[in-house]
Amino acid sequence: MGQYLGLDSSTQSLSATVIDTDTGKVVLERSLGFGEQLAHYKAPNGFIPDPDPALRHSDPLMWVEALEKLLRELRAAGLDTARIRGISGAGQQHGSVYLKRSLSQVGGWRPGSELVTQVRPLLSRPTSPIWMDSSTGEECAEIAAVVGGNASVTQVTGSRAIERFTGPQIRKFFKRAPAAYGQTEEIHLVSSFMASVLIGATSGIDLGDGAGMNLLDLASGSWSQKMLDATAPGLRDKLPPPIPSHTRVGAVADYFVDKHGFTSGTPVVAFTGDNPSSLIGMGASRPGAVVISLGTSDTVFAAMSQPRTDPRGYGHVFGNPAGGFMSLICFSNGSLARDEIRRRVGLDWEAFAQAIVHETQPGNAGNLMLPYFVPEITPRLVEPKLQLFGGEDFVALRSPAEAARAVVEAQALSMRYHSDWIGEERSTIRATGGASRNVGILQVLADVFQAELRPLSVANSSALGGALRAAQAVEGCEWEELYARFSAPDADLCVQPNPKARAAYDELGARFGERISVLLGD
Ligand code: XUL
């Protein structure tokens, strides 16, 4: 029993959640926004602005600096790091970090100098492509062609060749910068990189996040030679080994003992992807519960009761950190799209929620939006295209209330439409992410899915998942024991569906499906 630290290195922030298994309480939650608190990286939304919307990279040094800054803030807020008995965490999925030397060869961090100064010379690629990058269409086609088509890629890896997945990104690096690729000794996911930084040595890649690379053979849990060969030469030697998510990858490095007060020998458990970690944080690792996560990306995911893949080719199969697999559908036009509309019509978040609940009706009088501001993942739209359809009086975004409802309804309809293949019971849905505190957004989701929406009481389910995974690995306790204490929904925020909305959404849903087909040229 004791305290456990969970971290979540996501697109726009690094967050920490500390739990205490003696008291059954969350001790501390803290988040550090990259845009505001590390402004010198000039990444207001966590990625380096690029006029080409297909190119989305971040500076891995920003994540390292954030780690030290957040640890300092946690201690300033009263956390006694010496009491932490285990650490785990999560990273935004698919993003990759390229190093000239394997971290296990570096021999740990020197106590005297900042971590960023020590990591900088190790980078063989100064920036990291992240999950928002959609610039690898060509590489996806090449990889699929070599292995006999996307049906084969899906059969082995659980997803077709996907632009943001790590394999196609590695292939692009190999093609565009062969010399730098040649000098690269080790390639990490954001998750395994953060774990490696903490232990000052190489951490393996956990099976949960590793499944988002188009490189893992899901059936055997090992790298697929066929996929490696189709991706880039010599790749096996550059990848850390795939490992079960509960693996203790090492002890916290002496650097963190000296500088941040941890107890020597504190175990670090493999980091995983933010979505697999949320599956744990939400207490949803057993089949039967569907989760909607409303963050920079919106995701719909669920532990799988039986093997399935998405016939439309957008969804994925990732490893479930508690064992088995999870299905996931990702929408890139999540919070940034909601925020864009909110700003354009001049509403604050409270007014946005009120406008939805009090000033408009389910179905929005037939006013429908296709909410694509940035390249979309589901459905695959490389050129973003905002479109509005509706009655004559629906002039683009002139009515703030209708615009607010239109963007949220479109997102919810898209989630319903694209998650029909996962085949799990959807009468109760757990919700997480910043927007899961917004009653307007929750009500639309409840009405569109005709399901009770239950938001988690803890702010960051992915960081919580890290803390729970650390506790489970160290104490060997049952997941359900931890879920009962830490993953309870916030009863005050539960939202019931309005049965009268069903017909409106069946109609709007059908129109949404038609519009999507036209947009995709089906
Ligand atoms: C999932 C995905 C996103 C990122 C966000 O496949 O790409 O949800 O994990 O951090």
Say yes or no: 177 and 86 in one domain: yes
For residue 54, give the DSSP letter.
T
pLDDT of residue 387: 82
Last residue of a domain, one of 276, 291, 318: 276
CA of 212 to the centre of ligand 1 (A): 9
- Which atom of ligand 1 is nearest to 296's Cα? 5
- Which atom of ligand 1 is nearest to 212's Cα? 6
Is 361 part of any domain?
Answer: yes
Say yes or no: 64 and 198 in one domain: yes
Ligand 1: residue whose CA is nearest its atom 9:
93
pLDDT per residue as tens, the chain (522 positions): 899 999 999 999 999 999 999 999 999 999 999 999 999 999 999 999 999 999 999 999 999 999 999 999 999 999 999 999 999 999 999 999 999 999 999 999 999 899 999 999 999 999 999 999 999 999 999 999 999 999 999 999 999 999 999 999 999 999 999 999 999 999 999 999 999 999 999 999 999 999 999 999 999 999 999 999 999 999 999 999 999 999 999 999 999 999 999 999 999 999 999 999 999 999 999 998 999 999 999 999 999 988 899 999 999 999 999 999 999 999 999 998 999 999 988 999 999 999 999 999 999 988 888 889 899 999 999 888 888 777 554 555 568 999 999 999 999 999 999 999 998 888 899 999 999 999 999 999 999 999 999 999 888 999 999 999 999 999 999 999 999 999 999 989 999 999 999 999 999 999 999 989 998 887
Pocket test for ligand 1, best of 131, 316, 317, 377 (most atoms within 8 A of CB): 131
Indicate whether residue 11 lines ligand 1 (CB < 6 A): yes
Contacts of 136 (CB under 8 A, 6+ apart): 163, 164, 168, 169, 171, 172
Residue with tokens 């957040």: 70
What confidence tens digit (pLDDT) does each residue in 279-294 have? 999 999 999 899 999 9
Say yes or no: 233 and 137 in one domain: yes
Is 475 part of any domain?
Answer: no
What confidence tens digit (pLDDT) does each residue in 116-148 have? 999 999 999 999 999 999 999 999 999 999 999
pLDDT of residue 396: 53
Say yes or no: 184 and 271 in one domain: yes
Say yes or no: 272 and 298 in one domain: no
CA 16 – CA 72 distance, rounded (Å): 12
pLDDT of residue 426: 87
CA of 223 to the centre of ligand 1 (A): 21
Structure tokens at 206: 């956990």
pLDDT of residue 180: 98
Choose among 473, 432, 459: nearest CA to 26.
459
- Which atom of ligand 1 is nearest to 293's Cα? 8
Torsion sign over Cα 510, 515, 520, 522 = positive
CA of 499 to the centre of ligand 1 (A): 32
What confidence tens digit (pLDDT) does each residue in 84-114 have? 999 999 999 999 999 999 999 999 999 989 9
Say yes or no: 42 and 170 in one domain: yes
pLDDT of residue 1: 84
Give the DSSP per-residue string, 453-504: EEEBSSS-HHHHHHHHHHHHHHH---HHHHHHHH--B-GGG-B---TTHHHH
Indicate whether residue 274 lines ligand 1 (CB < 6 A): yes
Cα separation values, 22 from 2, 37, 420, 471, Å: 6, 33, 41, 11
pLDDT of residue 14: 98
Domains identified in the chain, total number: 2
Indicate whether residue 133 lines ligand 1 (CB < 6 A): no
- Which atom of ligand 1 is nearest to 273's Cα? 9
pLDDT of residue 370: 87
CA 34 – CA 397 distance, rounded (Å): 30
CA of 87 to the centre of ligand 1 (A): 22
Say yes or no: 257 and 331 in one domain: no
Contacts of 112 (CB under 8 A, 6+ apart): none
Is 466 part of any domain?
Answer: no
Q: Is 289 helix (H, G, I), strand (E, B) or coil?
A: coil
CA of 164 to the centre of ligand 1 (A): 9
Indicate whether residue 320 lines ligand 1 (CB < 6 A): no
- Which atom of ligand 1 is nearest to 164's Cα? 7
Indicate whether residue 57 lines ligand 1 (CB < 6 A): no
Indicate whether residue 169 lines ligand 1 (CB < 6 A): no
Indicate whether residue 272 lines ligand 1 (CB < 6 A): no
CA 388 – CA 395 distance, rounded (Å): 8
Indicate whether residue 92 lines ligand 1 (CB < 6 A): yes
- Which atom of ligand 1 is nearest to 11's Cα? 10
Say yes or no: 224 and 93 in one domain: yes
Last residue of a domain, one of 221, 247, 276: 276
Instruction: Give the Cβ contact number of residue 244 at 10 Å.
Output: 15
Is 118 part of any domain?
Answer: yes
Structure tokens at 498: 């309005």
CATH classification at residue 8: 3.30.420.40
Indicate whether residue 293 lines ligand 1 (CB < 6 A): no
Cβ atoms of 90 and 272 closer than 8 Å: yes
Cβ atoms of 243 and 205 closer than 8 Å: yes
Indicate whether residue 94 lines ligand 1 (CB < 6 A): yes
CA of 92 to the centre of ligand 1 (A): 6
Is 464 part of any domain?
Answer: no
Strands 242-243 and 205-206: parallel
Is 467 part of any domain?
Answer: no
Say yes or no: 211 and 359 in one domain: no
pLDDT of residue 459: 83
Is 213 part of any domain?
Answer: yes
Last residue of a domain, one of 225, 257, 276: 276
Strand partners for 276: none
Is 114 part of any domain?
Answer: yes
Indicate whether residue 300 lines ligand 1 (CB < 6 A): no
Structure tokens at 373: 């501001």
Ligand 1: residue whose CA is nearest its atom 7:
131
Say yes or no: 301 and 269 in one domain: no
Say yes or no: 379 and 251 in one domain: no
Choose among 107, 83, 112: nearest CA to 262.
83
- Which atom of ligand 1 is nearest to 274's Cα? 9
Give the domain extent around 20. Answer: 3-276
Instruction: Give the Cβ contact number of residue 400 at 10 Å.
Output: 18
Indicate whether residue 10 lines ligand 1 (CB < 6 A): yes
Say yes or no: 84 and 206 in one domain: yes
